[in-house]
Amino acid sequence: MDSQACIFFNLSKANQAALRFLAQKVAELHITPVQAMVLGFLHRGDRVTSSALGKMTELDSATLTGILDRLETAGHIRRHMHPHDRRSIEIHLTPEGKELAALSVGAIDEANREFLAAFTPADRSGLLELLGKLRDKSP
């Protein structure tokens, strides 16, 4: 195993480093990086179904159920009955959740800038493009 040449190893460790970095940024909000990302998506528009949020966040419904459980317990979101489909739930941000979502977006933006501060704009866009290509390889 030549770990330096292994894309799986490098990707995994870069991701771990990124998550640690973001975790420090959102620690003062008392949420995890993933919770901050989900709140960030809801900041663009809540009142979505769990299924729609799952498509946005590219998360499994089982994973999302757990994340929503914790956000609801913390008082950041509420699950409501969907007006036209009794299978679905509609996710609403609470007033506190709305504030926290705005702060999350700011923290994530700041973390993005700082985490990539040492990179040139060309490196930044090149990295995002390459990662995007890798994502699309998924079965």
Partner DNA sequence: TCCATTATACTCGCATACTAGTATATGGCA
Partner DNA sequence: TGCCATATACTAGTATGCGAGTATAATGGA
Among its own copies, DNA, none, what binds residue 130 when CB lies within 5 to 8 Å by partner kind?
its own copies
- CA 139, CA 135: separation in Å to the nearest integer? 10
Six-digit token string for 130: 């390459």
Of residues 63 through 82, those in contact with DNA by CB under 7 A are 63-70, 79, 82
Q: Which is nearer to its own copies, 30 or 117 (CB)?
A: 117
Does 81 engage in binding with its own copies (CB under 8 A)? no
Any idea which residue has 């926290």 for tokens? 100
Total number of residues shown for the chain:
139
Six-digit token string for 121: 């704009």
Among its own copies, DNA, none, what binds residue 3 when CB lies within 5 to 8 Å by partner kind?
its own copies
- CA 108, CA 123: separation in Å to the nearest integer? 19
Six-digit token string for 29: 């909000």
Does 126 engage in binding with its own copies (CB under 8 A)? yes
At residue 89, the 3 state secondary structure works out as strand
Does 85 engage in binding with DNA (CB under 7 A)? yes
Site string for DNA, 9-48 (x = CB under 7 A): ---x---x---x-----------xxxx-------------
Q: How many other C-beta atoms are found inside a 10 Å radius of the C-beta of residue 79?
A: 14
Q: Which residues contribute to the site for DNA (CB under 7 A)?
A: 12, 16, 20, 32-35, 49-51, 54, 59-70, 79, 82, 85-89
